[in-house]
Structure 1
Amino acid sequence: MFEPAPTPVAAAPQGLAVRLGRVLLAPWSRLALLVVLLAAAGTSVLVLEPQRLLADGWPVQLNGAAAVVVFAVAYGLCTAAFVPRPLLNLAAGALFGTQLGLVGALGGTVIGAGIAFGLGRALGQDALRPLLRGRVLHTVDGQLSRHGFRSVLAARLFPGVPFWVSNYCSSVSRTGWLPFLLATGLGSIPNTAAYVVAGSRASTPTSPTFLIAMGFIALTGLAAAIVAWCKRHKLRGDDGTGGQPEAGNRPEADDRPGTRV
């Protein structure tokens, strides 16, 4: 005997579920979810005010290695929610001292970078990559895609671009996970250490250690400004090619099949 064919009434809900799933998984739907998550994270930071740790101190129930681990996780979540890293680095030094503070701050830096990179890669890349047609955007994307480790390392060593901006820009590019996280960890050591030392010696602002740390911070900021000034022509496309990208670097070449990393 032949089984009866499914009725249209039974097939309709299944077809509706499939269409709804496609809409929810579409690039622009995921991008909208990313925007909502980031807006919620920024709002929570304004409400919870994590910077109060500088004034109120760390909870007495947490101490030792456990406190450093909890701080690193909280640090990562805060950086993904747009809290400035210098403030968190100062807090790390003030709460834990130089050595443990540096461990917690670097761990939190890598965690926060990984969170932002993962969110941007999963929710924003497919929708935003087709929009990378401007000259400056294409140049930045090309540098990150072709020289991910070197570009991210330079951005961490010479801080000028906000931490969260570089994270999400890297996630939209074709930079791999390992080069991104490794360059973030290595490149963040000098500047993070300077802020942690400054935070640990904030009670003695006239001490040589504090002054050296602040001097290093100022020098890295000046170096970042000089590098940005020297690179301005390249970002504008004034590289002697008449403002036209090379054949192998055109935006269309990045989205051809087989070029995704």
Structure 2
Amino acid sequence: MLDATTRSGGTATASSEAAATELTVPVTAPANFAVRCTRVLRSPWSRLSLLLVLLAAAAASVLLFEPHKLLANGWPPQVGGPVALVVFAVAYGVITVAFVPRPLLNLAAGALFGSELGIAAAMVGTVLGAGIAFALGRMLGQDALRPLLRGRLLKAADNQFSKHGFRSMLAVRLFPGVPFWAANYAAAVSRMGYFPFLLATALGSIPNIAAYVVAGARASSPTSPVFLIAVAAIALPALAGAVVAWRKRHHLRRR
């Protein structure tokens, strides 16, 4: 009797465990699938792919809207006053993430708003665009790209940005030669801090922005002293930046 009871109890226990197992399989399978999908989406290469897709979409939208027509056609007449400044600054920041040349936008700021307001709008747009690009590069691209920094020049640039972030970025902004978007994403991949990056961008971009905005504001009188000084202020830093970059590259090759 005891053996029969024990056997029946054991059979009941085994059947209940089997039933519990059958019940838990459909529940845990979707959970495991969700966990795997989450891991894939959070992987460095998935995030880098997302960054590339976002940048490609932004570049395609800029090509579609053709912002260079802003210089030829002017600002939409229904937008004016402080609203126009805010809209221009935000649009400036967003489309610089999509590789639109900033000199074009700085000239447009001067032509549309004059020297003082144009400089303010271009400065806000520059810092905004740099901040967006830095945040995207840091969140979506840093983990995937840092292991690829194996060349001597790449390691030297990364070391410079990581250890001397503010000073290095200030030099890059003062002496134009490195494209704006390239400097943003290079800084994002490095270990540079967010605040030193933005501060160096704001301070280092002032001379270049002022020169282009003033040139755009005085474009109707190309023989005026102010316009000629602005053009000289554009050309001389570019030449100095090319010389410094050549000497730095020559020095790294000798080492």
Alignment of 1:61-100 (within 5 A): 61-100=78-117
Contact 1:27 1:126 in 2 (8 A): yes
Alignment of 1:82-161 (within 5 A): 82-161=99-178
Cα separation, 2, equivalents of 1:195 and 1:101: 10
For residues 118-176 of structure 1, the C-alpha deviation after alignment (integer angstroms, 9 at most, x for no partner) is 11000000000011111000000000000000000000000001000000000000000
For residues 209-252 of structure 1, the C-alpha deviation after alignment (integer angstroms, 9 at most, x for no partner) is 1011001111011100110111013443x33xxxxxxxxxxxxx
Cα separation, 1, equivalents of 2:252 and 2:144: 23
Corresponding letter in the other structure for 2:127:
V
For residues 175-218 of structure 1, the C-alpha deviation after alignment (integer angstroms, 9 at most, x for no partner) is 00000000000000001000000000001111111011001111
Alignment of 1:189-228 (within 5 A): 189-228=206-245
2:46 to 21, 29, 33: 29
Aligned pair count reads 237
1:24 is displaced (CA, Å) by 0.7
1:61 is displaced (CA, Å) by 2.0
Structure 2 unaligned blocks of 5 or more: 1-15
Question: Is the partner of 1:231 in helix, strand or coil?
Answer: helix
Q: Which structure would you say has the larger Rg? A: 2
Quote the RMSD (CA, aligned, Å): 1.3
For residues 88-117 of structure 1, the C-alpha deviation after alignment (integer angstroms, 9 at most, x for no partner) is 000000000000000000000000000100
Which residue pairs with 1:243 in the alignment?
A: none
Cα separation, 2, equivalents of 1:108 and 1:125: 24
For residues 27-85 of structure 1, the C-alpha deviation after alignment (integer angstroms, 9 at most, x for no partner) is 00000011111111111111110111101111122222221111010000111000000
Q: Does 1:167 align with 2:184?
A: yes
1:45 to 62, 79, 89: 62
Q: TM-score, normalised by structure 2?
A: 0.90
Q: Does 1:16 align with 2:33?
A: yes
Contact 1:140 1:235 in 2 (8 A): no
Which residue pairs with 1:178 in the alignment?
A: 195
Question: Is the partner of 2:140 in helix, strand or coil?
Answer: helix
Identity of aligned residues (%): 68
Cα separation, 2, equivalents of 1:179 and 1:233: 28
Q: TM-score, normalised by structure 1?
A: 0.88
Q: Structure 1 segments of 4 or more deviating over 4 A? A: 2-6
